[in-house]
Amino acid sequence: MIILGLDPSLSCTGWGVIRAEGSRISHVANGQVKTDAKAPMAARLAHLQAELARVIAHHRPDRAAAEEVFLNKNPQSTLKLAQARGAVLAACGAAYDGTGLSVREHAARAVKKSVVGTGGAEKAQVQAMLKVLLPGVKVVGADAADALAVAIADAHLG
């Protein structure tokens, strides 16, 4: 099974693709989609959706996984995250000639617990475990690392 992990963000959305065969996982690819902060919101969201549509078309995942939305103290940040997440989910929904790619959602604490063993793990601990679980993988950035962690958690949580 090919799983696409997603870490939505308006500024930089991370994505990670893994192959899960039973309890074994292996890295397929990872990356980040950055948007221009000076561009209009609609253009940023369209860019995000188009780039993720390309990732989906290229890797042909069986399913996708994303972290559940969390509320920030800043309502504007929460709104921007929700809009980016909408573009990401729209790319999944439009995949495969409109039949769609199913997306499972996981709480951030569940992702951390699945990857590290504790729901209160720090980002550095998650990234260190990725090196253990996916030896030799070059992760392109923190957002891609988070996306790979979501994919791994999805594989573990079945």
Cα 125 from Cα 118, distance rounded (Å): 10
Write out pLDDT tens, residues 61-79.
999 999 887 667 788 888 8
**In this model, does residue 90 exceed pLDDT 70?**
yes
* Residues belonging to the active site: 7, 67, 143
pLDDT digits (tens, 9 = 90+) for 91-102: 999 999 888 999
Query: Binding-site residues for Mg(2+), please?
Result: 7, 67, 143
Q: Can you say which residues are annotated as belonging to the binding site?
A: 7, 67, 143
- Which pLDDT belongs to residue 76? 86
Q: Quote the pLDDT of residue 71.
A: 67
What is 2-157's CATH number, 3.90.190.20, 3.30.420.10, 2.40.37.10, 3.40.50.150? Answer: 3.30.420.10
| Per-domain boundaries in the chain | 2-157
